[in-house]
């Protein structure tokens, strides 16, 4: 299961970046990019649920198409450089993990007889989730949707912001 965590989390991270890209794009781009985002997130959750890479041959193709597609979006404008780099890393790792899985399936089907060590699993899950967050967060912030997001710690409305201002004592 540990070897499948990273591609699953990478797919979920890629899906989130694609959703942010779709949110800032025109309808002709938003619909297909949003559809791909749904597929990426669904695949990530299905991998987590199955505890193995599902449809690894399709994941190899999906990783390659994801790299090419994000390159196309970068060149045509809806995708900035930082989100492109995040998508490149996510899709590259999905493709590599899927290639390794396909090759191992050809070599010999392995029986998973080892029990899961909960402590190690939890540590790997947290470390990989932090890595995905470290890659996805700047990409989300650099997307068009991220550029218009309200900064943390500020109010959504002007009337609320004035209520939280403090004045020095004696004024």
Give tens-digit pLDDT for 59-86.
999 999 999 999 999 999 888 899 999 9
* Distance separating alpha carbons of residues 45 and 8, to the nearest angstrom: 7
Buried b (16+ CB within 10 A) or exposed e, 30-47: beebbebbeebbebbeeb
pLDDT value for 160:
47
pLDDT value for 39:
96
The average confidence (pLDDT) of the chain is 82
* pTM score: 0.76
* Distance separating alpha carbons of residues 80 and 92, to the nearest angstrom: 18
pLDDT value for 33:
94
Q: What confidence tens digit (pLDDT) does each residue in 21-64 have?
A: 998 888 999 999 999 999 999 999 999 899 889 999 999 999 99
């Amino acid at each position: 299961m540990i070897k499948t965590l990273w591609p699953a989390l990478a797919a979920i991270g890629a899906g989130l970046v694609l959703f942010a890209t779709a949110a800032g794009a025109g309808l002709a781009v938003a619909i297909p990019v949003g559809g791909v985002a749904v597929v990426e997130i669904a695949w990530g959750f299905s991998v987590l649920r199955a505890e193995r890479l599902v449809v690894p041959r399709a994941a190899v193709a999906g990783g390659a198409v994801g790299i090419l597609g994000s390159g196309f979006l970068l060149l045509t404008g809806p995708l900035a450089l930082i989100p492109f780099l995040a998508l490149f890393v996510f899709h590259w790792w999905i493709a590599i993990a899927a290639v390794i899985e396909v090759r191992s399936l050809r070599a010999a089907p392995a029986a998973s007889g080892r029990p899961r060590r909960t402590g190690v699993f939890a540590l790997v899950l947290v470390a990989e989730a932090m890595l995905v967050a470290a890659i996805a967060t700047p990409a989300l912030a650099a997307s068009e949707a991220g550029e218009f997001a309200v900064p943390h710690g500020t109010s959504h409305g002007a009337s609320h912001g004035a209520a939280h201002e403090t004045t020095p004592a004696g004024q």
